[in-house]
Amino acid sequence: MVTITIDGLCANIGRRPVLTDVTTTLRPGNLIGIIGPNGAGKSTLARAMLGLVPARSGGIHVDGRAVDAFAPRELATTIAYVPQGQTLHWPLSVERLVALGRLPHMGPMSRLGATDLRAVQEAMRRADVTHLSGRTVTELSGGERARVMLARALAVGAPAMIADEPLGSLDVGYQMDMMSLLADEARAGALIIVVLHELNMAARYCDELLLLNEGRLVVGGGISQVLDKAWLAQVFGIDARLDEWEGRMMVTPTRRLP
């Protein structure tokens, strides 16, 4: 199990400040959604937790160790990553692409072993891409690529995962399938962090939310605490109707506020 602690994190993209004084603790066994308007710093925060964006000040610790103290291979086996977008340039088969998730476990010039092959097959089954195993990834639809990239991350077998806007290319049925799968991973003890724009998916499946705006963490906590009419008005500039269905909140934007 993995705990990620973010303490006063400030980070730039080039010379532009993108994150300012972000502090929070993300604990295992939770599906945590990062939400906020465009340009809020959501993806930058996700990448910072992977050591891909250096801190200007403050820091990130994974189980008490600074993220930049991890060797790349060790961090890759600790936190799996589903990057934003599914642009793929190599004409690999789906099965071979998913198998890339096992690379952090393998030595130089080594081949996939029985354990690796089982992990690949199980990941494809869970992401519902087994029937695509022989297809070339560059010929897949956007939704199919999204599920294959999730399978690659699942094949890692890491105790934590960060998925950056994984729902963008999926129809609503597959969005629900993917969020259900991520929620199952969290219930099994993993720490799952997902960047989302879909507020109802966040409300239905996430255990906790982090609401970012202009690079700052506005509020973090439970669904009803974060998806509050006042926060939605302040951060997204919308009035919204908040209802409950099967014990979960539903958010219906009703008008854009001036």
Residue 74 near residue 50, CB atoms below 8 Å? no
Question: Mind listing the pLDDT tens digit for each residue in 189-205?
Answer: 999 999 999 999 999 99
Looking at residue 188, its pLDDT comes to 95
Which residues, in sequence order, are bridge partners of residue 210? 34, 220
The DSSP secondary-structure symbol of 136 reads: B
Question: CB pairs under 8 A, 24+ apart, for 245-253?
Answer: 248/203, 248/204, 248/223, 249/203, 249/223, 249/224, 250/200, 250/203, 250/204, 251/199, 251/200, 251/203, 251/227
Domains and CATH numbers, the chain: 4-256 (3.40.50.300)
Which residues, in sequence order, are bridge partners of residue 238? 256
Altogether, the residues listed in the chain come to a count of 258
Question: Could you identify the residue written with the tokens 């730039």?
Answer: 12
In which band, very low, low, confident or very high, does the pLDDT at 159 lie, cut at 50, 70 and 90?
very high
Looking at residue 86, its pLDDT comes to 64
Angstrom distance (rounded) from CA 152 to CA 203:
26
Residue 51 confidence (pLDDT) above 70: yes
Question: Per-residue pLDDT averaged across 118-146, rounded?
Answer: 93
Question: Per-residue pLDDT averaged across 65-81, rounded?
Answer: 95
Q: What is the amino acid identity at position 191?
A: L
64: alpha, beta or left, given left = phi > 0 and alpha = psi -120 to 50? Answer: left
Q: What percent of the chain has pLDDT over 90?
A: 84
Model pTM?
0.94
Helix/strand/coil (H, E, C) string of 223-247?
HHHHCCHHHHHHHHCEEEEEEEECC
